[in-house]
Chain A
Amino acid sequence: MDLYEHMGKDLFRAHGMQTPRGIVVFSSADAASATDELGGRSVIKIQVQVGGRGKGGGVELCDTPEAAAAAADRMLRSDFKGFPVTRVLVEELLPIAREFYTSLLLDRARGDYLAMMTAEGGVDIEELARTRPEAIRRVHIDPMLGLRAYHVRELIGTLPVEAWEGAADALRKMYELLVERDATLVEVNPLVLLEDDRVVALDAKVTIDDNALWRHPDIAELAEQFPIDEVEARAKEKGLQYVKLDGDVGIIGNGAGLVMSTLDVVAQAGARAANFLDVGGGASADQMATSLEVVLSDPAVKVVLVNIFGGITRCDLVAQGILEALERIEARVPIVVRLDGTNAEDGRRILADAAHPNIVPAANMLEAAEEAADLAGANL
C-alpha cells in the first residue's frame, strides 16, 4: 500500500524524525488559512499515490495566502497522472542549505534490504544513477543483523560533515520504521540540511507490504482515505482483482500470469481489453458469478472472455457460477468461455446442457481470443 506523503510523514514523526510543520487541507480556502497559520508563506503539495510531482506541477511555492489558495484550487480541480486529487499538504517554508537523497527498500534480487544515500539530492536522481552511479552510496543490510553503525558511516560519507549527525539519526529512524511497520520502501527526496544544521525530511514516500497489514491495523485503516473506483471496490470486497482499461473485451481469468497472457493474446487477435479481473485460486461459483457481474457492469464491454485453467479452481464450479450470474443479471453481450484443467469436462458439459444463447464455448485459448475479437468487432 502506497501512502500519501502526509501519512508517511506522520509515521516519520512517530519514529522521531524531523519534518516541516504541515497541514492537510481539502479546499482552497483552507489552504489560505493554513498558509496564514504557517507564517504567510507555504509550499502546496498534491497528495497522490504516485511519484513525479515535482516535475509534473504537483508542488508549488507560495508567497502569500492568496497564492496558496490559487495553487490549491488549481491542484484540486484536476487529476494528477490519472489519479484524482482530493487533498493537498500545506507546509512551512524552511531555510534550506543543501539537498540530499536517501532511501531504504527491499531488494528483490538479493532478498535483503538496500540503503542508498547521496549528497546530490533533487528530482534527477535516476539520471545521476545512470551517469555517475558511484555518486550514490549503497549498502546492503542483512535483515537478521539490521542497520549497523558502519553501514551508517558509509552511507553518510558523501554528505557535508555538518549534516552527518542529523543524517545518521534519520537513517536509523527510517530503518526502525521499515522494520517495525513492514515497509518495503522508505524514500526521502530530498532530505535537507537547514541553515541551522538541522536535517529534515522534506518528502516521504512510504510503501507498506499489503501482506503485513494485519500487523498494523492503524495503517490498514488509512486505505479508506484513498479514492477508489466503485466497481473496483466491489471486486476487492469479494477478494477479486479488477482493473479498468480502455478497449471493449471484458476479461476474466484465474491467476495473474494467465490473465496477462490473455490480454496479450486478445491484442494479438486485434481487439483490446475493456477491463480484466483475476478470480484468483480456488474460485467458487459465487465468486465467479460476482466476477461476471463486475465485468458486465462496465458499459464499454462488448464481449466477455472467460479463460480458466483450473488447478485449485474447479471448472464445474466456474460453469455453475457463470449460469448463476446469468440468472441474476441480464447478459447484454456474448460470453466466450474457455475451460481447461481440473473438472473441465464437467464444466463444459454443464454449459452445453444449459445451452444459454449468450454463451459461446471455445476449445482453447487462442480460439477463445479470436472469437472474442471477432464478436467485439461485429458489435461495434
Chain B
Amino acid sequence: MSILVDERTTLVVQGITGNEGTFHTLRNREYGTNVVAGVTPGKGGQDVQGIPVFDTVARAVAETGADTSMIFVPPRFAAEAILEAADAGVGLVVCITEGIPVRDMANVHSYLEASKTRLVGPNCPGVISPGAANVGIIPGEICTPGAVGLVSRSGTLVYQIVHELTQRGIGQSTCVGMGGDPIHGIGFVEALKLFQADAATELIVLTGEIGGDDEERAAAFIAEEATKPVVGYIAGFEAPPGKRMGHAGAIVTGSSGTAAAKAEALEAVGAAVARNPTQVADLVAERLG
C-alpha cells in the first residue's frame, strides 16, 4: 500500500515530447510506472518509444483510460495544462513545471476546489511509491520500499532525507514533494491525512522550511487527528531574514514564519524535530524500534 500513486496508476504525460518530458517519462517507465499516453498539441498520432501521443488530454483519457497526469509543459502554458487534465477527469495531476504565474495558479486552485481532481505541485519533484510507481523526477534508486511516509516542501531535501533513510535500511511507503510555490496542491495537512489513513505507513516524516505557515497548520492537524508518530525537519535556521514590504502578510498569518517558530510548533504537539537531515534518520530509527 501507499498513497497517491501505486502499481495500478495509469499515467499520461503532458509535454511528453519536450527534452525533460521525454527523459523523465522514460525513467518513470523504466522504474515500472505504467505510462499509457502522452500529450503534445499538434503531435497527436506520433509516439515516444511506443507511448502513443495525443493532441488533447481528453483524447488520451478516452483512448487509454489514464487516471493520473504528469505535467512538463513550459510555465506559460502549465496552468492551462492542469485545467485541461482536471476537465478530462484525471484524478491526480502532478505538475513538475517551475515558474507558473501565481495568478494563474489562483484560478486553477479555485477551479480544482469544485472538482474531484487532486494536484501535487507545481514546482515539485513529484511522487514516488518505492517499488510500485514513480511519477516525477525523484531518483528511484535512492528509495526503498517500507513504512515511512515522507512529505516535503523542498525538492532536494526529499532526496537528501530519503537517501539518509535508505542508507539506514529504512524504507518508504510514499514520498511526496509538494513543491514550494505560494499556491500549490496537496499540502502537509492533506498528505498527513492520506498517510494517517494508509495501512502501510507507520511513521510520517514532514520536511518544512522558512516562510508561510504550512508547518504551523500541520502542527494543528497533528494535535487534533494524527495518531501515527511524526518526525519533522525544518530547514532555514541560519537563513537571512527576508525583507518585508508591507504589513499585510504578517496580519494574515500571525506567524513569524521562522524555522525556530515552526520547529517549536511541531514539538509542542509531540512531533520529534531533527536539527539536520542525518538526525531525521536517527529519530525515525528510534521510533520504529
Interface residues of A (CB under 8 A from B): 2, 49-52, 81, 83, 101, 103, 105-109, 111-114, 116, 125-126, 129-130, 136, 142-144, 179, 182, 184-185, 187, 189, 205, 207, 209, 211-212, 214-215, 243, 245, 253-258, 260-261, 263-268, 272-273, 281-282, 309-312, 340-342, 364-366
Q: How far is the CA of A212 from the CA of B76 in the complex (A)?
A: 9
Q: What number of A-B contacts does a CB cutoff of 8 Å give?
A: 199
Q: Is the interface of A mostly helix, strand, loop or mixed?
A: mixed
CA distance A340 to B156 in the complex (A): 11
> Inside 8 A of A254's CB, which chain B residues have their CB?
156
Is A260 a contact partner of B236 (Cβ separation < 8 A)?
Answer: yes
Chain A residues, Cβ within 8 Å of B243: 2, 49-50, 81, 83
Docked pose: A133 CA to B52 CA in angstroms: 56
- B149 in the interface, Cβ–Cβ < 8 Å? no
Inter-chain contact B103/A143, CB cutoff 8 Å: yes
**Does A209 contact B101, Cβ atoms closer than 8 Å?**
yes
Q: Is B217 an interface residue (CB 8 A)?
A: yes
Smallest CB separation, A50 vs chain B (Å)? 4
Q: Chain B residues near A101 (CB, 8 Å)?
A: 247
| B110 touching A126, Cβ below 8 Å | no
B254 close to A (CB within 8 Å)? yes
Q: Which of B142, B160, B182 touches A108 (beta carbons < 8 Å)? A: B182
B248 at the binding interface (Cβ < 8 Å) = yes
B20 to chain A, nearest CB (A): 7
Is the CB–CB distance between A185 and B249 below 8 Å? yes
Q: Are A366 and B278 in contact (CB under 8 A)?
A: yes
Q: Within the complex, which residue of A108, A212, A256 is in contact with B154, where a contact is CB–CB below 8 Å?
A: A256
Cα-based distance from A366 to B281 in the complex (angstroms)? 13
Asked if B270 is at the interface (CB within 8 A of a chain A CB), the reply is no
Smallest CB–CB gap between B110 and chain A, Å? 5
- Contact between A106 and B182, CB atoms less than 8 A apart: yes
The one of B102, B157, B240, B254 that contacts A184, using a Cβ cutoff of 8 Å: B102
Chain B 22-61, CB within 8 Å of chain A: the 1/0 string? 0000000000000000000000000000000000000000
Rounded to whole angstroms, the CA-CA distance of A352 and B181 in the bound complex is 38
A310 and B9 CA atoms in complex are apart in Å by 26
B residues within 8 A CB of A130?
Answer: 254
How distant is the Cα of A132 from the Cα of B160 in the complex, in angstroms?
44
CB contact under 8 A between A105 and B103, given known A261-B277, A309-B160, A311-B139: no
CA distance A103 to B156 in the complex (A): 35
State whether A109 touches B102 (Cβ < 8 A): no
For chain B residues 96-113, which have a beta carbon within 8 Å of chain A? 98-107, 109-111, 113
Contact residues in B for A215 (Cβ distance below 8 Å): 101
Let me know if B262 is at the binding interface, CB within 8 A. no
Q: A257-B180, A312-B137 are in contact. List 13 more A-B contacts (CB 8 A).
A: A108-B212, A109-B213, A184-B102, A211-B99, A211-B100, A212-B104, A257-B152, A257-B154, A264-B237, A281-B155, A282-B20, A341-B163, A364-B278
Q: 4 nearest interchain CB pairs?
A: A257-B154, A255-B156, A111-B109, A212-B101
Using known A-B contacts A143-B107, A255-B154, A267-B237, determine if residue A106 contacts B102 with beta carbons closer than 8 Å. yes
Task: List A contacts of B259 (CB < 8 A).
Answer: 264
Please pick, from A81, A264, A311, the residue contacting B238 in the complex, using a CB distance under 8 A: A264
Contacts of B239 in A (CB 8 A): 260, 263
B289 at the interface (CB under 8 A from A): no
Return chain B residues, CB-CB under 8 Å to A179: 103
Q: Which residue of A is nearest B242, CB measured? A: A50
Question: Does B251 interact with chain A (Cβ within 8 Å)?
Answer: yes
Complex: how many Å from CA A281 to CA B236? 19
B8 at the interface (CB under 8 A from A): no
When the two chains form their complex, are residues A310 and B278 in contact, meaning their CB atoms are under 8 A apart?
Answer: no
20 contacts between A and B (CB under 8 A): A106-B102, A109-B252, A112-B106, A112-B109, A113-B106, A129-B254, A143-B103, A143-B110, A185-B248, A212-B103, A255-B156, A255-B157, A257-B235, A263-B237, A264-B235, A264-B238, A310-B159, A312-B20, A312-B137, A341-B139
**Cβ distance A163 to chain B, nearest Cβ, rounded Å:** 20
CB contacts (< 8 Å) of B196 on chain A: these are none
B276 pairs with A214, CB closer than 8 A: no
Residues of B71-113 whose CB lies within 8 A of A? 75-76, 98-107, 109-111, 113
B259 shortest CB reach to chain A, Å = 8
Interface check B275, CB cutoff 8 A? yes
Tell me the minimal C-beta distance from B228 to chain A in angstroms. Answer: 24
